[in-house]
Structure 1
Amino acid sequence: MKQKNMLAWAVSAIVYLGLVIGGYSVSASLNGNNDHTDTHTAKINGNEEKESINEQAHNDNHTSQKSDGEDSGHSGHVAHSKSEVVTNVKYEKGLITIDVKDKDQKSPKLEISHEKSMHLIIVSADLEDYYHLHPVKKGNGMYTQKFALPENSYKVFVDIKPKNLAYQVSPIELLVGKGHGEHEESSLKIDTNLTKTINEKTVELTTTEPGINKDVTLNFDTKGITSEPYLGALGHVVILDDKGEKFVHVHPTSEEKTQFETKFDKPGIYKVWGEFKFDGKVNSYPFVIEVK
């Protein structure tokens, strides 16, 4: 009897131990599955968060690029250091020919600026002679102007606004005649008297103190005589540095005053031509100023 009780107890113990071990295994398996599920969920959430960040970064970058493109407009093109348009100038027998092409050798469309699609500024290398012309289009990017240039060395500036293309006005060397194989250096002297008289019409230039990278006002006093409208304005101003390389074309700040604003990005000596129309004739008044 005692032996039977011992056997029953042993069987009960084995069964109990089996149940405990089985329950532990099931619990471990369930916990393992939960851990795997949690880890997988975490990875999914992590990927979703990463994709969301990347998508936001892409959207922000796209928005920034689009905004930059929209805000830059034409002035953004002017800021480019490299032009997307090439201009070539030739002179033969009293005819000036300007060839304007883009990188694909096509004729770019030019915007109208002050009633003209092209302003051609020609100055002698010593910055003494000055001409402002307006060539006309002949087709396929070709523009021509009949004009008798005296024998000399010149620098030519093709002032245009190609539509949706970057363009930087740069000097083009032009030699007219055989006796001018080398370009002369300018030797500008600062004007002590900023009053000039041409064709009996006097103009006086006064300025705010010319400084670097700040607005400078150029005021041209026409001595009580109102200048006539010229190319949609009361006057025009062209400025070159003493090397004849830095080109600035300035227009009036208002339709009622011969007042202009500009900026200088470096110190030096500059030549200023103020163009005003009196009695149907355009006079170009030259002034030499210093920017410190």
Structure 2
Amino acid sequence: MENHQHHQHAAHNDHAAVENEVSVTAAYEDGKIVVELKDPEGNAPVLETNHEKDLHLIVVKSDLSEYRHLHPVSKENGVFEQAYELSDGMYKVFVDIKPKGLAYQVKPVELHVGEHQNHSADNDLSVDTEFEKTVDGRTVALSVNSLKVNEPTVFTYTSKDGKPDPYLGALGHVVILDEDAEEFIHVHPSSEDETVFETRFSKPGIYKVWGEFMFGEQVHVYPFVIEVTE
């Protein structure tokens, strides 16, 4: 199962080190999130299918209090749309794509909705001390082997309800953001039959981790806040 190590490196390397060959803009218009992609010539890039979708859109409130994983519909000329109701405020969106033949790394794009101050809200993240949560009647526990910089970090999820169902070509998806919503990591299971995810952190700090798992026909999202140390 793919681990998306390229996303991990893109998230932690100096942003100036990789020159994106795909420009990304996002806007909120008439109850829709509108994303536009352009290559260096101003044309729509060709996208390779990535875990059953051409584009994965991660939307978070700037204080990380809200999280959505969406799949906008392709319209034309590199435009994707997703009808979705967002409350007023500032958001950051992460456009996860695999453009054919073009350099690309996922970077945050600000999305302003309604009337509000044009700056990020301060988050109030508290590191979790209990790593078991129940969402819509499904309980999942998380164990982590190490939270040290530059060491392999393995996230192991277990469910009292048994193994989750496949979702977008994997048993689960884990998205990780630092507290400033600048560093983006998207990890998939390291095997096809276990909900085990491996990554590395290159800098210390507070991170929020969202684990996505499908039980039956419903996707459940389990958020945890962790701290990575030297």
TM-score of the superposed pair, with normalisation by structure 2? 0.90
Aligned residue number for residue 135 of structure 2? 198
Q: CA deviation at 1:131?
A: 0.4
Percent of residue pairs bearing the same amino acid type: 50
How do residues 208-287 of structure 1 correspond to structure 2 at under 5 angstroms? Answer: 208-287=145-224
Q: 1:141 and 1:114 mapped to 2: Cα distance? A: 19
Question: Given that residues 99 and 142 in structure 1 are in contact (C-alpha distance below 8 angstroms), is that contact kept between their aligned partners in structure 2?
Answer: yes
Residue in structure 2 matched with residue 82 of structure 1 by the alignment: 19
Q: Which has the higher contact order (CA 8 A, sep 6+)?
A: 2
SS at structure 2 position matched to 1:139: coil
Distance between the aligned counterparts of 1:245 and 1:185, measured in 2? Answer: 14
Question: Deviations for 1:103-134, whole angstroms, at most 9, x for unmatched residues?
Answer: 11011111111000100000001101000000
State which of 58, 63, 71 in structure 2 corresponds to 1:121: 58
Confirm or deny: 8 A CA contact 1:151 1:180 kept in the other structure: no
1:131 aligns with 2:68: yes
Aligned length: 218
Which of the residues 147, 161, 168 maps onto 2:98? 161
1:100 to 37, 51, 56: 37
The alpha carbon displacement at 1:136 in A equals: 1.6
Radius of gyration: which is bigger? Answer: 1
RMSD: 1.6
Amino acid at match of 1:185: D
Is the Cα–Cα contact under 8 Å of residues 187 and 242 in structure 1 kept in the other structure? no
Unmatched runs of 5 consecutive residues or more in structure 1: 1-73
Structure having the higher helix fraction is 1
Q: Which one of 103, 106, 109 corresponds to residue 172 of structure 1?
A: 109
Instruction: Name the amino acid aligned to 2:51.
Output: H
| Separation in structure 2 between the aligned mates of residue 192 and residue 155 of structure 1, nearest angstrom | 27
The gaps in structure 2 that reach 5 residues or longer are none
Match of 1:187 in 2: 124
Name the structure with the higher strand share. 2
Task: Provide, for residues 25-72 of structure 1, a one-character-per-residue CA deviation record: whole Å limited to 9, x for no partner.
Answer: xxxxxxxxxxxxxxxxxxxxxxxxxxxxxxxxxxxxxxxxxxxxxxxx
Does structure 1 conserve the Cα–Cα contact (< 8 Å) formed by 2:187 and 2:199?
yes
Secondary structure in 1 matching 2:104: coil
Q: Where has structure 1 moved over 3 Å in runs of 4 or more?
A: 77-80
Amino acid at match of 1:132: H
- For the 8 Å contact 1:120–1:157, the answer to whether it is kept is yes
